[in-house]
Amino acid sequence: MDLVVKNGRLVDPARNIDAVTNLIIRNGKIQSIGSAAVSDIPVFDATGLVVTPGFLDMHVHLREPGTEEAETISTGGSAAVAGGFTAVAAMPNTKPPNDNPSITHYIVSEARRSSPARVFPVGAITKDQKGETLAEIGEMFEAGIVAISDDGKPVMDAQLFRRALEYAQMFDMPVIQHCEDLNLSRGGVMHEGVYSTRLGLKGIPAAAEETMISRDLILAQMTGSKYHVAHLSTGPAIQMVRQAKALGLRVTAEVAPHHFTLTDAAVADYDTNAKMNPPLRSTEDVEAIVKGLSDGTIDAVASDHAPHHINLKMLEFDRAPFGITGLETAVGLALTKLRLSITRLIELFSINPQKIVKVTPWGLFEGSEADLTVLDLNRSWTFDVNSSRSRSRNSPFHGWAMKGKAVATIVGGKVVYEDRG
Ligand SMILES: [Zn+2]
Ligand SMILES: [Zn+2]
């Protein structure tokens, strides 16, 4: 794939690049930056747009194999590029879960066949995600996993989690924890606070997340392993991560856009699209997340894209499943709601996620895979869930007006998504 990306503002904070110039792609890789445009290959006019290293959403549920009525690797990949992501990391809680190399091989080959975005599988920590014995981690690593996680569930057994940390270290992989003490959260459907009391719904206390993180940080310190906190949602939990980083622990953390744009007040009319796990928290928690994003405590923004068939989300609040779609709204919400510099935004969406899951890096340098996200920082647009490329419709952001959008996505030198407005 050959292409000239002409006259864009090229920004790559990892390579100290911020300049309006041309970028030439040959055979799917970046051949040169800053040279005069050539005449023999197609041109992508990026005048007025920002061209960045391709965004990586490191927390996505693609639902295949097993729940293809909600999403497939193909439809999820298509939603990813429509949201500006050139790559995603796919969580293992499929049916069956990705706990052995044959499932990993399936995901890798199906992604190559049908997904416009690159897909990096995450392997399960424990067999069948039951939290009892370790999964086939070494064999899955050989097959292409980039991290391990039992996401959807935590690993409650501290001894088993210690072994997982030690084992993952042999492959220099992070262990991603869904931080939730199941004894504290049992039966809960939303954040425990004023709103849960008022609505008569059983709450999930902030402590369910915080006690698990504090245990894990002790184990991460003991083992010296790479520990990554998924979907961090409370102020005190962010403070714990901040302190652990100051102590030199190898800890990283992500937040999801719904946790910096919504509070538990969104549950007020029993909207099941406001039901997710961890739940929407308080105003103070949102403020702490925004601060953590700007001061470097939080390393990445990840959508926790969790598609569910509409029949399930139409159940009453107590019985509906947790989770919302997020691939197509993550970048718009971050650009609209966060006052971050463009370089910080690119760190959160591309540079840091690449480092955390330790993929072969891509960016604005010669020889890199030509995986690029193109942003229009001034585009005003409204999210319409009915035109989503996801197979599911469970988003609380339908009808939201946003400013700033990924308007093109380039993978391996090929324009796989373009929205010229
Ligand atoms: Zn989770
Ligand atoms: Zn998740």
Proximal ligand: closest to the CA of 185:
1
- Both tokens of 22, joined, read 């041309």
Helix axis angle, 206-223 relative to 235-246, nearest 10°?
Answer: 10
Q: How far is the CA of 78 from the centre of ligand 2 (A)?
A: 19
- Residue 22, classed as helix, strand or coil, is strand
What percentage of the chain has pLDDT greater than the value 70? 100
pLDDT digits (tens, 9 = 90+) for 277-321: 999 999 999 999 999 999 999 999 999 999 999 999 999 999 999
Q: How far is the CA of 153 from the centre of ligand 1 (A)?
A: 7
pLDDT digits (tens, 9 = 90+) for 37-64: 788 899 999 999 999 999 999 999 999 9
Proximal ligand: closest to the CA of 154:
1
Q: How many angstroms separate the CA atoms of 394 and 313, rounded?
A: 7
Q: How far is the CA of 154 from the centre of ligand 1 (A)?
A: 8
- Both tokens of 277, joined, read 């796990």
pLDDT grade for 421, boundaries at 50, 70 and 90: confident
Q: Strands, DSSP E only, in 196-345? A: 203-204, 227-229, 251-255, 300-301
Find the mean pLDDT for residues 189-204.
Answer: 97
Q: How far is the CA of 111 from the centre of ligand 2 (A)?
A: 19
pLDDT digits (tens, 9 = 90+) for 202-259: 999 999 999 999 999 999 999 999 999 999 999 999 999 999 999 999 999 999 999 9
- Both tokens of 176, joined, read 């991603």
Residues labelled catalytic: 304
Closest among 42, 71, 104 to 410, alpha carbons compared: 42
Q: How far is the CA of 132 from the centre of ligand 1 (A)?
A: 18
In angstroms, the Cα distances linking 15 to 8, 298, 351, 364 are 16, 21, 10, 7
Q: How many angstroms separate the CA atoms of 94 and 67, rounded?
A: 7
pLDDT digits (tens, 9 = 90+) for 4-49: 999 999 999 999 999 999 999 999 999 999 988 788 899 999 999 9
Q: How far is the CA of 303 from the centre of ligand 2 (A)?
A: 8
pLDDT value of position 39 = 82
Q: How far is the CA of 398 from the centre of ligand 2 (A)?
A: 21
- Residue 95: other Cβ atoms inside 10 A: 10
Q: How many angstroms separate the CA atoms of 101 and 95, rounded?
A: 14
pLDDT grade for 383, boundaries at 50, 70 and 90: very high
Give the DSSP per-residue string, 226-243: -EEESS---HHHHHHHHH
pTM of the model: 0.98
pLDDT digits (tens, 9 = 90+) for 65-85: 999 999 999 999 999 999 999
Q: How far is the CA of 304 from the centre of ligand 2 (A)?
A: 5
Q: How far is the CA of 378 from the centre of ligand 2 (A)?
A: 31
Q: How far is the CA of 305 from the centre of ligand 2 (A)?
A: 7
Residues 6+ apart with CB under 8 A from 207: 181, 184
pLDDT value of position 38 = 82
Q: How far is the CA of 42 from the centre of ligand 2 (A)?
A: 39
Proximal ligand: closest to the CA of 305:
2
Proximal ligand: closest to the CA of 228:
1
pLDDT value of position 35 = 80
Proximal ligand: closest to the CA of 178:
1
